């Protein structure tokens, strides 16, 4: 099996100047006019400030070096305005435009299925026992673009240990909120709702797999999957179920939403794999958002050292 | 001012200006960083969208003219068709630069002769391998002879009848454009479905017309015999 080493930082990974200026423009409303003028035009201030609240998360710890990359994260603006979250529309800017009204307080998460301690948690109670840490992860979309995101979260394994899976539990199924009133995309039949994702139990227990509650040290904006989302950095982004309301342990492989939508194009595993193309496009390279030249996609998104052993003996061409 | 002069000196320049607005807006948005986090994808999609819109407008002109009796419309058909080609060319060039060129390996550096070879192979492989690129490129390629023969000189050279026959290639472009769009979306087929419905309607209208014409001709022949 092809396993590449986690790469060191490369000079090309440093955010280019234009994007850097855009980040400042975003944070400092006052800079908008100056930057706009420098760019040769007038930039209305409308886009300067985000329309969602930004709240710092207290006591965020640093992750161990093995669980975080030193690559330069993409800007807050990129991460919060370039989203695939079909519950709010299928265009990249739809979620940041439409997700504002989603009510994430109160929020209940049901943990059930093949566990000894099933529970309906209030979100605060669910999170409280665990230390939140910052994990900077590469995020590779199945559409061949990527971001580097500083998530804040805790290992899914911690929650699963609390729930105490029965010995018959083999898979974890995660379900997104179904609420067409608040999620306009669910009033269309673009996908089958609610959105469902799943992992093998050993994948779910892997220390890289986290439940995220924030990014850039702040609570998640709704468009990024507030208040609780899954992040599995060696898999394509769609595996990361957002706005999770249910975590169920089962003995059968869950049928995830994209597989249901197009089984020949999206499988259960969906591990990032440059040598297995999507039937309609190549997965060999990717565009890191903010860069012009595409970079080679890494096996398991560069996390092969840590996760390749999960798939020993599994034909990854068949189990895409 | 006579009607012809009004069309030539007022109406046509206005149509020109309006048809250039999307390109002008895209250029402005690109220069001001207003195309979102992935501007290359955005501009690829926008130019593709405008190509399809102009194709639909172009093939709508004859049916609308027939139904409304507004004959001057025909004077804008070539203009609209050439703008479809203009946006299609932009779309293709942006694909070549942002998708193909940007994805090369540059084994000998960017400015090497091998880069040109690599680029040509990369484009060809993509056209060969990816069905949605194959149809998209076919649709674009079919517009080239139409753009070349769009002058009065070429109509004379080919003769009206042959020229008309050749320019039916635009139907191929329209269908290929819709299929190209349909095959590239992940799950949300609503936009391509709108174009599919429009193209089906406009080509269906022609089909009905030509069946009617054939029937009339047959009746005439029978009446004579």
Collapsing DSSP to helix, strand or coil, A272 comes out as coil
Distance CA B152, CA A120 (A): 76
Please list the residues that pair with A119 across neighbouring strands: A111
Which of these, A283, A292, A293, lies nearest to A316 by C-alpha position?
A283
With tokens 């093939």, the residue in question is B59
List Cβ neighbours of B219 (8 Å cut-off, separation of 6 or more): none
Tell whether the model's pLDDT for residue A270 goes beyond 90: yes
pLDDT (0 to 100) of residue B1: 66
A82 vs B contacts (CB less than 8 Å): 36-38
Task: Output the DSSP codes for B124-184.
Answer: HHHHHH-HHHHHHHHHHHHHHHHHHTTSHHHHHHH-HHHHHHHTTHHHHHHHHHHHHHHHH
- Whether the Cβ atoms of residue A239 and residue A232 lie closer than 8 Å to each other: yes
Nearest to B31 among A39, A93, A292 (CB): A39
pLDDT (0 to 100) of residue A13: 52
The rounded radius of gyration (Å) of the Cα atoms in chain B is 21
pLDDT in tens, A63-110: 999 999 999 999 999 999 999 999 999 999 999 999 999 999 999 999
For B110, which residue in chain A has the nearest alpha carbon? A293
With tokens 């899914």, the residue in question is A156
Taking the Cβ of residue B183 and every Cβ of chain A, the question of whether any pair is shorter than 8 Å is answered with yes
Neighbour count for residue A306 (Cβ, 10 Å): 18
Contact A41/B32, CB-based, under 8 Å? yes
Contact B130/A143, CB-based, under 8 Å? no
pLDDT in tens, chain B (225 residues): 688 899 889 999 999 999 999 999 999 999 999 999 999 999 999 999 999 999 999 999 999 999 999 999 999 999 999 999 999 999 999 999 999 999 999 988 888 899 999 999 999 999 999 999 999 999 999 999 999 999 999 999 999 999 999 999 999 999 999 999 999 999 999 999 999 999 999 999 999 999 999 999 999 998 887
With tokens 């960017």, the residue in question is B110
- Whether the Cβ atoms of residue A237 and residue A84 lie closer than 8 Å to each other: yes
Nearest to A78 among B34, B37, B184 (CB): B37
Tell whether the model's pLDDT for residue A187 goes beyond 50: yes
pLDDT in tens, A10-25: 554 555 544 444 444 4
Residue A205 banded pLDDT, cuts 50, 70, 90: very high
Tell whether the model's pLDDT for residue A275 goes beyond 90: yes
**Weakest mean pLDDT among A48-62, A262-276, B49-63, B139-153:** A48-62
Neighbour count for residue A100 (Cβ, 10 Å): 15
Chain B closest-CA separation from residue A262 CA (Å): 8
Q: DSSP label at A286? A: E
Tell whether the model's pLDDT for residue A5 goes beyond 60: no
Q: DSSP label at A248? A: E
Average pLDDT of the residues of chain A: 89
Contact B36/A90, CB-based, under 8 Å? no
B31 vs A contacts (CB less than 8 Å): 39-41
- Geometric angle at alpha carbon A218, from A215 and A223, rounded to 5°: 60
List Cβ neighbours of A105 (8 Å cut-off, separation of 6 or more): A123, A227
Q: Which two tokens stand for residue B135?
A: 């149809």
For B183, which residue in chain A has the nearest alpha carbon? A280
Residue A209 banded pLDDT, cuts 50, 70, 90: very high
Chain B closest-CA separation from residue A54 CA (Å): 20
For B28, which residue in chain A has the nearest alpha carbon? A41
Quick one: what percent of chain A has pLDDT higher than 90? 84
A40 vs B contacts (CB less than 8 Å): 31-32
pLDDT (0 to 100) of residue B3: 85
Taking the Cβ of residue B32 and every Cβ of chain A, the question of whether any pair is shorter than 8 Å is answered with yes
Quick one: what percent of chain A has pLDDT higher than 70? 85
The rounded radius of gyration (Å) of the Cα atoms in chain A is 19
Element (DSSP H or E) covering residue A257: helix A257-261
- Whether the Cβ atoms of residue A249 and residue A114 lie closer than 8 Å to each other: yes
Distance CA B225, CA B223 (A): 5
- Strand pairing report for A61-62 and A133-140: parallel
Contact B187/A18, CB-based, under 8 Å? no
Taking the Cβ of residue B187 and every Cβ of chain A, the question of whether any pair is shorter than 8 Å is answered with yes
Taking the Cβ of residue B33 and every Cβ of chain A, the question of whether any pair is shorter than 8 Å is answered with yes
pLDDT (0 to 100) of residue B144: 98
pLDDT (0 to 100) of residue A1: 46
Taking the Cβ of residue B98 and every Cβ of chain A, the question of whether any pair is shorter than 8 Å is answered with yes
Which of these, A214, A226, A275, lies nearest to A76 by C-alpha position?
A214
Quickly list H helices, chain A. 17-27, 31-38, 76-81, 94-98, 123-127, 156-163, 201-204, 257-261, 304-307
Tell whether the model's pLDDT for residue A212 goes beyond 80: yes
* Disruptive mutation site among A287, A290, A296 for chain B (greatest number of B CBs within 10 Å): A287
Quickly list H helices, chain B. 3-6, 12-31, 39-68, 77-94, 113-129, 131-148, 152-158, 160-166, 169-184, 190-224
The ipTM, to two decimals, is 0.88
With tokens 């999770």, the residue in question is A244
């Amino acid at each position: 099996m092809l396993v590449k080493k986690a790469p060191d930082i490369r000079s090309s990974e440093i955010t280019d100047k234009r994007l850097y200026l855009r980040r400042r423009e975003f944070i400092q409303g006052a800079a908008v006019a100056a930057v706009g003028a420098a760019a040769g035009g007038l930039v209305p201030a409308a886009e300067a400030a985000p329309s969602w609240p930004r709240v710092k998360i207290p006591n965020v710890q640093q992750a161990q070096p093995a669980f975080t990359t030193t690559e330069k994260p993409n800007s807050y603006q990129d991460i919060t305005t370039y989203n695939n979250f079909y519950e709010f529309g299928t265009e990249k800017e739809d979620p940041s435009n439409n997700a504002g009204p989603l009510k994430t307080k109160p929020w209940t998460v049901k943990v059930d299925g093949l566990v000894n301690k099933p529970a309906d948690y209030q979100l605060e109670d669910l999170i409280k026992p665990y230390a939140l840490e910052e994990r900077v992860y590469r995020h590779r979309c199945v559409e061949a673009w990527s971001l580097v995101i500083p998530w804040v979260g805790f290992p899914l394994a911690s929650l699963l240990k609390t729930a105490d899976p029965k010995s018959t539990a083999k898979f974890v199924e995660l379900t997104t909120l179904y609420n067409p009133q608040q999620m306009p995309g669910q009033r269309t039949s673009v996908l089958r709702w609610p959105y469902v994702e799943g992992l093998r139990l050993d994948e779910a227990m892997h220390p890289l797999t986290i439940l995220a509650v924030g990014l850039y040290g702040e609570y998640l904006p709704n468009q990024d999957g507030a208040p609780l989302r899954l992040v599995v950095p060696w898999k394509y982004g769609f595996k990361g179920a957002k706005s999770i309301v249910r975590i169920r342990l089962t003995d059968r492989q869950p049928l995830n939403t994209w597989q249901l939508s197009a089984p020949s194009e999206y499988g259960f595993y969906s591990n990032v794999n440059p040598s297995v193309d999507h039937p309609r496009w190549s997965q060999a390279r990717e565009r890191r958002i903010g860069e012009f030249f595409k970079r080679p996609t890494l096996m398991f998104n560069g996390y092969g050292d840590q996760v390749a052993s999960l798939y020993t003996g599994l034909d990854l061409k068949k189990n895409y | 001012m006579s009607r012809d002069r009004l069309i030539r000196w007022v109406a046509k320049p206005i149509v020109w200006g309006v048809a250039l607005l999307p390109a002008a807006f895209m250029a402005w948005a690109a220069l001001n960083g207003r195309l979102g986090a992935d501007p290359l994808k955005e501009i690829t999609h926008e130019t593709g969208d405008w190509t399809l819109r102009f194709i639909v407008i172009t093939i709508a002109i004859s049916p609308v003219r027939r139904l409304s009796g507004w004959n001057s419309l025909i004077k804008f058909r070539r203009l609209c068709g050439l703008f479809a080609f203009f946006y299609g060319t932009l779309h293709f060039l942006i694909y070549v630069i942002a998708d193909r060129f940007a994805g090369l390996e540059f084994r000998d550096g960017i400015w090497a002769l091998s880069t040109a070879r690599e680029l040509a192979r990369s484009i060809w492989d993509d056209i060969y391998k990816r069905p949605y690129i194959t149809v998209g490129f076919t649709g674009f390629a079919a517009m080239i002879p139409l753009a070349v023969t769009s002058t009065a000189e070429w109509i004379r050279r080919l003769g009206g009848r042959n020229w008309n026959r050749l320019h039916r290639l635009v139907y191929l472009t329209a269908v290929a454009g819709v299929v190209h769009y349909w095959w590239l979306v992940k799950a949300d087929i609503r936009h391509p479905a709108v174009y599919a419905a429009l193209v089906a309607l406009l080509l269906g209208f022609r089909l009905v017309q030509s069946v009617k014409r054939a029937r009339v001709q047959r009746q005439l022949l029978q009446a004579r015999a």
